Amino acid sequence: MEASGTRALNLSKEVRSEFMKTRVIRVDPAEPDPRAVEEAAAVIRGGGLVAFPTETVYGLGANALDPEAVAGIFRAKGRPADNPVIVHVSRPEMLEPLVTSVPPSAEKLIFRFWPGPLTLLFPKSPAVPDIVTAGLPRVAIRMPDHPAAHLLIDAAQIPVAAPSANVSGKPSPTSASDVLEDLDGKIDVVLDGGPCEIGVESTVLDLFGNVPRVLRPGGIAKEEIEEALGVSVEVVSTEVHLEGAPPSPGMKYRHYAPNAEMYLLTGRPEEQRDMAVRRAEEILKNGQSVAVLSSSENVPSYLGLKDKFPGLFHVLELGPRSDPAKIASKLFASIRRADKLGVSVILSESFDEAGLGLAIANRLKKASGGKVLAPRPSTSAQPVTVLFVCTGNTCRSPMAEALFKKVWKDRGGTRDMRTFSRGTGALPGMPAASEAQEAMKKRGIDMSGHISMPLLPVDVESSDIIVTMTKAQKDAILARFPKAHGKTFTLSELAGEVIQGDVSDPLGRGREAYEETAALLEKAFESIAPRLLEHPVLRKEDGGKTE
Ligand code: TXA
Ligand code: MG
């Protein structure tokens, strides 16, 4: 590369781009008008830049045989020069001048999957400029399955180099308006053929190792390739490569990154949902806005937060867990939508990694930069001890203990859970109030054996979490027991969605007051039971990567 030549080119392009107006040419995605497409093809032949729809994402195309035209792609996207681009063809014959050989396994895959979202590596011929492959000996080629893309390449009569048509590092565009958001004024034409069907990019496959290797999971599943070739296929680590030599240059850069801080929720779908609700609420209470990328199944669980924090909380539905194709098709658009809403934080659910799910997981991991919110692993070896405290230990705290145990059991809590109750000012040896016993009896709980106990230092030490009915009780405990710090909470701090302020003493307020208190406690525990084990003070064995 001669520095002066590069510089001159930069300057002239800069001057040009100041005057560049991006033209939008609309076409029917199923039956594109050949005359409209010919306009775009002429721009490609003339060395210009055309964004066009494919079945995966929009590509930013240029004449693959013209190094200056390809340099324009890198400039418009701000793409690092060591990240090669894919060459797009419209017929298998177009392959021949670009490559020096086609292995039999490639032939098989071409026959089976082209046109379609499968990109294959081939030894490049001298006809392919070095800038296309970033100096590598192999060129990546695919045949897109979209009438407009097919017609464009056919009309141009040249292979079209095209990375995804986004600014480097941003989520890939799945509509013409996504392209314009990133590249308006920087490219000549957008061929608008509506939204892309698949929504994640092609699978990039390297057939030149000992075993075929997927360098980027995408629209064709690894399982489909294995089935076609009859051999097992390796998937190169989908983690973000930051150091060392990655197998595919694209792996080392940050990809698909939204402006918002993004976290990926892991664990079972219900765990993801509960973590999302809890995390979102914390963030929202801090005055920041949040979007959740949700499975259809979990959407209803988030609606409460939407009502509670109008305008600050958004739920973006990806699709049912059983329909990865739907989820893939909405993935990038939803990340872009979250950015348009201007949220500070995106929490995304994660999905099964079979089939197309692998590509979805890969994009979500990269978009979140590897930031994960994981539930604490529940092990039966680690019992959790919960201590309920009121003042006299004759009504509120024994009812709380009994109801918590019941809710925990009813909900199938498997973790070994120990509970007990005490009073900050309790006289020892008193039975539970008769009205409290009655309220429990109605719920099938026998509390006749309860005897009151005052809170002692050993109780504080032996519990993992201490739950008080009132703020005054919490303050009294903290004042008397240094070891209670950090693990003592009022019930309203844990279940603010059900209980605001103190759980007041029903003593002397009649039977109804006891019944009301019992109902309130039950409701609070139903709300917190699913997420209690994920409370920070109960997460003893975090292993670093959890919340
Ligand atoms: O679905 C798609 O593949 C879309 C549409 C427009 O066709 N294109 C696309 O291109 O996603 P791009 O540039 O965003 O991603 C191409 C990926 C990168 O990870 C790149 O590093 C890898 O393919 N790649 C390209 N040429 C390569 C080569 N010669 N050797 C190894 N990896 C290569
Ligand atoms: Mg890309």
Chain segment 468-477, per-residue pLDDT in tens: 999 999 999 9
Q: Any idea what the CATH number is for the domain that residue 433 is in?
A: 3.40.50.2300
pLDDT at position 278 is 95
- Show the domain range for 367: 261-373
User: Measured between alpha carbons, how far is 332 from 239 in angstroms, rounded to an integer?
Assistant: 19
Q: Give the domain CATH number at 20.
A: 3.90.870.10
Q: Which residues pair with 189 in a beta bridge?
A: 23, 50
CB under 5 Å of ion ligand 2: residues: 164
Q: Are residues 311 and 424 in the same domain?
A: no
User: CA angle 492-495-500, nearest 5°?
Assistant: 40
Q: How far is the CA of 200 from the centre of ligand 2 (A)?
A: 10
For residue range 190-223, list pLDDT tens digits in order.
Answer: 999 999 999 999 999 999 999 999 999 999 999 9
| Ligand 1, atom 20, residue with closest C-alpha | 250
Rounded Cα distance between 77 and 167, Å, is 4
Q: What does each C-alpha distance from 526 to 85, 411, 415, 427, 494 come to in angstroms? A: 53, 8, 16, 30, 12
Residues 388, 348: one domain?
no
Q: Does residue 469 fall inside a structural domain?
A: yes
How high is the pLDDT of residue 379?
Answer: 54
Is the domain of 271 the same as that of 328?
yes
Spell out a b/e string for 40-61, using b for 16 or more CB atoms within 10 Å of the CB, else e: bbebbeeebbbbbbbbbbbbbb
Closest by Cα among 503, 474, 472 to 486: 474
CA–CA dist 427, 454 (Å, integer): 6
**Same structural domain for residues 214 and 269?**
no
Task: Tell me whether residue 543 is in a domain.
Answer: no
Tell how far the Cα of 3 is from the centroid of ligand 2, in angstroms.
27
Q: What is the largest CA-CA distance in the chain?
A: 94
Distance 254 CA to ligand 1 centre (A): 14
- What is the Å distance from ligand 1's center to 86 Cα? 5
The rounded distance, in Å, linking the Cα atoms of 147 and 27 is 10
**Whole-angstrom Cα distance, residue 256 to residue 364?**
8
Picking from 339, 373, 407, the residue at the C-terminal end of a domain is 373
Ligand nearest to the CA of 167: 2
CB 358 within 8 A of CB 531: no
- What's the pLDDT at 16? 53
Domains in the chain, number: 3
Ligand 1 atom with least separation from CA of 136 = 29
What's the pLDDT at 19?
Answer: 63
Distance in Å from the first CA to the final CA of the chain: 48
Q: Of the ligands numbered here, which is closest to the C-alpha atom of 215?
A: 1
Give residue 185's region: left, alpha or beta (phi > 0; psi -120 to 50). Answer: left
CA of 539 to the centre of ligand 1 (A): 41
Residues 449 and 492 in one domain: yes
Residue 486 maps to a domain: yes
In this structure, which residue's CA is closest to atom 32 in ligand 1? 248
Whether residue 320 sits in one domain with residue 416: no
Domain boundary among the residues 373, 394, 410 is at: 373
Residue 160, classed as helix, strand or coil, is strand
CATH number of domain containing 322: 3.40.50.11030
What integer pLDDT is reported at residue 217 of this predicted model?
97
> Is residue 247 a part of any domain in this protein?
no
Q: Which of 201, 202, 240, 356 for mutating ligand 1's site (highest number of atoms within 8 Å of CB)?
A: 201
* 441 and 318 housed in the same domain: no
- Three-state DSSP class for 233? coil
Residues 434 and 402 in one domain: yes
Give domain status of residue 546, yes or no. Answer: no
Q: Is the same domain home to 277 and 312?
A: yes
User: Do 146 and 43 reside in the same domain of the chain?
Assistant: yes
Ligand nearest to C-alpha 172 = 2
Ligand nearest to the backbone CA of 249: 1
Residue 249 lies in a domain: no
Q: Return the pLDDT at 7.
A: 43
- Closest residue to atom 12 of ligand 1, CA basis: 163
Q: What is the pLDDT of residue 4?
A: 39
In a domain, 173, yes or no: yes
Please report the DSSP string for 330-387 in residue order: HHHHHHHHHHHHT-SEEEE-----STTHHHHHHHHHHHTTT-EE-PPPP-TTS-EEEE
Closest-lying ligand 1 atom to the alpha carbon of residue 117: 1
What residues does ligand 1 touch, defined as CB less than 6 Å away? 54, 56-57, 59, 83-86, 117, 119, 121, 133, 136, 138-140, 144, 162-164, 201-202, 204, 215-216, 248-250
Residue 135 Cα to ligand 2 middle (Å): 18
One domain for residues 362 and 389: no
Considering the domain boundaries, does residue 245 fall inside one? no
Q: Are residues 69 and 133 in the same domain?
A: yes
Give 408 Cα–ligand 2 centroid separation in angstroms.
47
Q: How far apart are CA 339 and CA 351, in angstroms?
A: 22
Q: Which residues contact 2 (CB under 8 A, 6 or more apart)?
A: none
Q: What is the pLDDT of residue 240?
A: 44
Low pLDDT (below 50) residues in the chain: 1-11, 238-244, 541-547
Spatial CB neighbours of 255, under 8 Å, sequence gap ≥ 6: 169, 240, 363, 366, 367
The predicted structure's pLDDT at residue 15 = 53
Residue 258 near residue 367 (C-beta atoms within 8 A): yes
Between the CA of 353 and the centroid of ligand 2 the distance, in Å, is 21
- Which of 353, 373, 393 is at the close of a domain? 373
Q: Which atom of ligand 1 is nearest to the CA of 247?
A: 31
